């Protein structure tokens, strides 16, 4: 696609429920990243995928968070047993490859509200 | 581990004036990239400028320039001739294998 697409754009869920957030990267981009941005804060790295390599999960805040990337394209971020502190904007980005010289294209984000 | 520090939570500048947003970084990797992104109130992340660690010259993109001082580990963003539309959050980031962001600076441009 022309840009990075994320869905849904907004999600309100009850505490304790599971949620799935979807990211469709730019076609041909081999690297895909998930970030979290709490209100008024910077971007917190969560996880990234590069080609067929094992994902870098070093930023996942707890084992309630997981992500997968199917067929090297679409990615799903799953949050189990959501908590109020999970409320944030979840941003997905993609790049041609992983490495110091590659900038990212970001999606518009999913705003998650846990009530 | 990589770290980015942005010490200015907020900055004000008058329209048509220049403004410098500070950024310092820390990494043990010899190869890295430095990036600046703009985030308007709409929430989108807009790429502004990139500087590679081995680049000898400071990067420029239109009204944006990056003042890269490698020995001091600083990568300040200079915006010349500020416009009202420049009002936004600005994030500095370092990339060795993934982008790590600073906490951002909120820039407000007034007439």
Summarize pLDDT for A26-47 with one digit per residue, the tens. 999 999 999 999 988 899 999 9
Cα distances (Å, whole numbers) of residue A64 to A48, A60, A90, B37: 17, 9, 15, 30
Report the SS3 class of residue A86.
Answer: helix
Taking the C-alpha atoms of residue A73 and residue A76, their distance in angstroms, rounded to an integer, is: 10
Q: pLDDT per residue over A50-105, tens digit each? A: 988 999 999 999 999 999 998 879 999 999 999 999 999 999 999 998 889 998 99
The predicted pLDDT at position A76 comes to 98
Nearest CA-CA distance, residue B53 and chain A, Å: 9
Taking the C-alpha atoms of residue B50 and residue B59, their distance in angstroms, rounded to an integer, is: 7
Q: Do A106 and B44 touch (CB under 8 A)?
A: yes
Q: B28-37: string of b/e by CB count within 10 Å (b at 16+)?
A: eeeebbbbbb
HSE (side-chain half, CA atoms, 13 Å) at A45: 23
The predicted pLDDT at position A104 comes to 95
The predicted pLDDT at position A1 comes to 53
User: By a Cβ cutoff of 8 Å, what residues of chain A touch chain B?
Assistant: 33, 35, 41-43, 45, 48, 56, 89, 91, 93, 98-106, 108-109
Task: Check CB contact of B35 with chain A, cutoff 8 Å.
Answer: yes
Per CB-CB distance under 8 Å, the chain B contacts of A33 are 98-99
Residues B77-101: what's their mean pLDDT? Answer: 97
Taking the C-alpha atoms of residue A21 and residue A89, their distance in angstroms, rounded to an integer, is: 11
List all residues 6 or more positions away from A64 whose beta carbon is below 8 Å from its beta carbon.
A79, A80, A81, A82, A83
**Is the separation of the CB atoms in A11 and A115 below 8 Å?**
no
CB atoms within 10 A of CB A6: 23
Taking the C-alpha atoms of residue A81 and residue A90, their distance in angstroms, rounded to an integer, is: 17
The predicted pLDDT at position A11 comes to 98
Mean pLDDT of all residues belonging to chain A? 95
Q: Which of B43, B53, B103 sits opposite A89 (nearest CB)?
A: B43
Neighbour-count burial of A23, counting CB atoms closer than 10 A to its CB (0-12 exposed, 13-18 middle, 19+ buried) = buried
Task: Check CB contact of B101 with chain A, cutoff 8 Å.
Answer: yes
Place of tokens 């950024």: B23
Place of tokens 């505490």: A15
Taking the C-alpha atoms of residue B80 and residue B111, their distance in angstroms, rounded to an integer, is: 15
Mean pLDDT of all residues belonging to chain B? 96
Taking the C-alpha atoms of residue A101 and residue B87, their distance in angstroms, rounded to an integer, is: 27
The predicted pLDDT at position B83 comes to 98
Confidence band, pLDDT 50/70/90 cuts, at residue B1: confident
Confidence band, pLDDT 50/70/90 cuts, at residue B57: very high
Q: Would strands B10-14 and B105-110 be described as parallel, antiparallel, or unpaired?
A: parallel
Q: What percent of chain B has pLDDT over 90?
A: 96
């Amino acid at each position: 696609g022309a840009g990075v697409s994320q869905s849904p754009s907004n999600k309100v869920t009850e505490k304790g429920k599971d949620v799935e957030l979807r990211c469709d990267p730019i076609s041909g981009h081999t690297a895909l990243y998930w970030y979290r941005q709490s209100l008024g804060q910077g971007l917190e790295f969560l996880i990234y995928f590069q080609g067929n390599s094992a994902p870098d999960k070093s930023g996942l805040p707890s084992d309630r968070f997981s992500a997968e990337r199917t067929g090297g394209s679409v990615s799903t971020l799953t949050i189990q047993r959501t908590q109020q502190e999970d409320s944030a904007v979840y941003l997905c980005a993609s790049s041609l490859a992983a490495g110091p010289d590659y900038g990212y294209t970001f999606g518009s984000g999913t705003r998650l509200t846990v009530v | 581990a990589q770290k980015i520090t942005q010490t200015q939570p907020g900055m004000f500048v008058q329209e048509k004036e220049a403004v410098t947003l500070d950024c310092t970084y820390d990494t043990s990797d010899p190869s890295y990239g430095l990036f600046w992104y703009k985030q308007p109130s709409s929430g989108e992340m807009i790429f502004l400028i990139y500087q590679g660690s081995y680049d000898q010259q400071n990067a420029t993109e239109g009204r944006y320039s990056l003042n890269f001082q490698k020995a001091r580990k600083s990568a300040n963003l200079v915006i010349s001739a500020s416009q009202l539309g420049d009002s936004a959050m600005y994030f500095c980031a370092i990339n060795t294998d993934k982008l790590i962001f600073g906490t951002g600076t909120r820039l407000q441009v007034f007439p």
